[in-house]
Amino acid sequence: MSNTKHDKNTQTRLINKDNRISALKKQIVYYKEITETIREPFIILNKDLKVVTANLAFYRKFKVSKKDTEGKRIYDLGDSQWDAPELRELLENILPAHKVLKNYAVTHNFPKLGDRTIVLNARQVDSKQLLLLAMEDVTDQWKLKADSSEMTKNLIEQRDQLQELNDAKDEFVSLASHQLRTPATAVKQYIGMLSQGFGGALTEDQLKMLGVAYKNNERQLEIIEDLLRVAKVDAGKVYLDKSSCNVVIQVEEAIERQAILFKTRGQSVVFNKPLTQMTASIDPKLMLMVLENILDNAGKYSKEGKQITVKIRQSATYTIITIQDQGVGIRKNDQPKLFKKFSRIDNSLSASVKGTGLGLYWAKKILDLHDGSITVSSKLNTGTAFEISMPISANFLKDTN
C-alpha cells in the first residue's frame, strides 16, 4: 500500500515537472517571437545566466554568431567581453532583489567595439526562470550630449567675454565723449567771443578763419552728442516718459524746427494733415528727435528744389507716419545696412553730406523701446520713404471702444 502511494506521488511530480517544462518551452517560443521584433539588441537568459536566445540586432551589434551564443553563459560570450564587474553586480545582486531594473548604464571596453556605454533594462519572469535583457548603445548619444554641453558652455563664456568687451567699449565711448564735450564747448565759447570782438578788432580774413573753426567745432559737438546718445541707449540707460500725445502736433513741431534748413536747401515740406486726431503712446521729447532725424535725412539726401511729403494714418493699434522724399534713393542691397551702427551708404550726395552713421541706428533703438518700428522703401534716383509705427494710446483705444 505504501509503495503504491509512493509511486503515485512520484508520478504526480513527474507530470507536474513535465507540465512546467512544457509551459516554459511555450513561454520561450513566445518571447523569441517578441525578441525578433525589437530593433535594439535583446537577449533572454535562464536562471543560470545562460543565453536561451538573442535577436539579430544583438548578433550584429556585438559581432557574435548564434552558435557561439545560445547555451553559453553571458560572461563567456565573445571572448568574455561581457565579463564586466558592473554586469555581474546587476545580474547577480541588484536584479534578484528588485525583479525589474530600468536604465542601468554600464561602461565597458569591448574588444571588438572599444569603449562603449550600454544602457540595460532587465526583468525577471516565470518565477525567476527567465531573464529578459534589453540593451541600447548610447555611447554616441552621450558623447554628442557632452560635446553639446561643452560647446554651449564655451559659447556662453565667449558671449560673456564679448558682452564685457562691449560694455567696456560703451563705457569708454561715454566717458571719452563726456571728456571731449567740455573742452569742445569751451573752444566754441572762445571762438564766439573772438568773433564778437572781445579780444580786439579782427580783419576780414581772421573772421573767416574763425568762422571755419566755429563751423568745425559745431560739427565736433554734433558727433560727440551722437556718440553719447548711442552709448546711453546701448547701455540700457534710456528711460521713456510716455504719455498720450497728439502726433499731428509732434510732426508740425519737427517740421518747424527744420524749416530754416529746408529753406536754405530750396526744398519744401508738404504735410498732409489728417482731419481727425491722431494719438500715440510715446515719449514726446525722444520721438520729436526721431522725427527731426528722419526729416533731416530726407533733406540732406535730396537735391535742391525737391519736395518732402509727410502723411499720418492709423491702423487698429498703430499710428503710422510716412516721410517720403524725392532724393537720390538707396540701392536694395544697401537698405539692410541703414539701421546699423556707423553705417553710411555711398551715393551721389554722400561725399558732401557729413554724418556719423549713428542717427538711424539711434532712431530705431528708440522706436524699439516704444514697441514700435521703422521701415524703409526706396528706389534709386527716385526717392525714399521711411515709415514709423507707434502704438496707439491705451486711453484712445479705450475711448473708441
Per-residue cell: 331: 540701392
In the structure, what pLDDT confidence band is assigned to residue 174 with cuts at 50, 70 and 90?
A: low
Cα gap 289→294, rounded to integer Å: 9
Give the torsion through C-alpha atoms of 347, 349, 350, 351, to 10 deg. Answer: 120
121 phi/psi in degrees, rounded to 5: -125, 125
Domains by residue range for the chain, with CATH: 29-137 (3.30.450.20), 144-234 (1.10.287), 243-400 (3.30.565.10)
Who wins on pLDDT, 259 or 62? 259
Q: Where are the extended beta strands (E) located within 230-372?
A: 243-246, 268-272, 279-282, 307-314, 318-324
- Per-residue model confidence as pLDDT tens digits over 93-109: 888 877 888 888 878 77
Please tell me the pTM assigned to this model.
0.55
| Mean pLDDT, residues 255-259 | 91
Residue 316 has pLDDT above 50, yes or no: yes
Q: What is the pLDDT of residue 401?
A: 44
Who wins on pLDDT, 128 or 51? 51
Mean pLDDT of the chain: 81
Cα gap 398→366, rounded to integer Å: 25
Residue 376 has pLDDT above 90, yes or no: yes
- Per-residue model confidence as pLDDT tens digits over 135-157: 888 888 888 887 788 888 888 88
Q: Which of 60-69, 129-138, 270-279, 342-351 is modeled with the greatest confidence? A: 270-279
Residue 306 has pLDDT above 90, yes or no: yes
Cα gap 55→103, rounded to integer Å: 20
Residue 365 has pLDDT above 90, yes or no: yes
Q: 160-164, 203-207, 267-271: which range is least confident on average?
A: 160-164
In the structure, what pLDDT confidence band is assigned to residue 375 with cuts at 50, 70 and 90?
A: very high
Q: Are 86 and 79 in contact (CB under 8 A)?
A: no
Who wins on pLDDT, 355 or 273? 273
Who wins on pLDDT, 118 or 181? 118
For residue 365, the SS3 value is helix
Q: Are 335 and 347 in contact (CB under 8 A)?
A: no
Q: What is the pLDDT of residue 182?
A: 75
Residue 394 has pLDDT above 50, yes or no: yes
Cα gap 231→290, rounded to integer Å: 16
Of the chain, the end-to-end C-alpha distance in Å amounts to 106
